[in-house]
Amino acid sequence: QVQLVESGGGLVQAGGSLTLSCAASGVTFSTYVMAWFRQAPGKGREFQAAIRWSSGFTFYADSVKGRFTISRDNTNNTAHLQMNGLKPEDTAVYYCAARRVVISTVPGDYDYWGQGTQVTVSS
């Protein structure tokens, strides 16, 4: 059974940085894509970034290019999202998600989800 557990959220001032982590277990992730989404109050789940586990290929939403960096650590099956230059509008619950092979920006395409971690950016 695939399990994804996020950590690293918190409260940060505008302009600050946070690194989120997603610890994955239950499957060999070499054929998987890991992605980060976020959901602000009253809004739908929004794609942020994804990484193809085997190759390290990455893909970003335009809104976070140059500010967020997704990476993976093969030794402990953990994906990270480094977030710099945070803005109040980045405030949301951040989720990691997994699916096989193909990167998608559509939440419904992902098979596995973590429980989410809250990120709050104060102005």
Number of other residues whose CB lies within 10 A of the CB of residue 72: 21
Tally of CA atoms within 13 A in the half-sphere of 19 that contains its CB? 9
Q: In the chain, which residues have pLDDT < 50?
A: none
Question: What pLDDT digit, counting tens, does each position of 46-56 carry?
Answer: 999 999 999 99
Six token digits for residue 96 = 């990691």
Residue 18's pLDDT is 98
Longest dimension (CA), the chain: 41
Residue 19's pLDDT is 98
Question: What pLDDT digit, counting tens, does each position of 4-24 carry?
Answer: 999 999 999 999 999 999 999
